[in-house]
Structure 1
Amino acid sequence: PNLPCKIIEKLYKNYYKLGCKSGILNISYNGSNLEPISLNSLSELNNISNNIISIKRLQDYKIFLKLKFLT
């Protein structure tokens, strides 16, 4: 499975802060590690909570294998 994410903020160089339906990921990601996807709508990413969530926590729920983000 993939974890749909949305770019929350462009940081330094080619790094991005990402948010998913569970909240904002606690580390930034290099754009070269992200795979763009095109979707007409993914309502779960319209209102991302301000909760900071770790990849470890996502792995514990077995929902993280590969990051994707909306373009």
Structure 2
Amino acid sequence: MSTWHEARQTWSTVDEQDIEFVVHDRLPDWGLTRRSRRIAAQQLTERDASAEEIAELIGVTPRTVYRWRAEGFQEAAA
């Protein structure tokens, strides 16, 4: 199995404590997995955080946050 495929398996892991630090304490964490980033973005959106603030906290672009919002964060719940 390639390194890329091995890394892909960890994309769906979620560390609730890391998400809590970002959402409740507004501490940046760019090491979140893809799924954790979407969950954090969804929770921050529910708390009326701007796309720019969310992007800065989780290490994505504001455009990504807008796209996730348009998609309804469907992957976050999966």
Scaled to the shorter chain, the TM-score interval is under 0.3
Greater relative CO (CA pairs within 8 A, separation 6+)? 1
Greater per-residue helix proportion:
2
TM-score normalized by the length of structure 1: 0.24
The structure having more radius of gyration, on CA atoms, is 2
Larger proportion of strand? 1
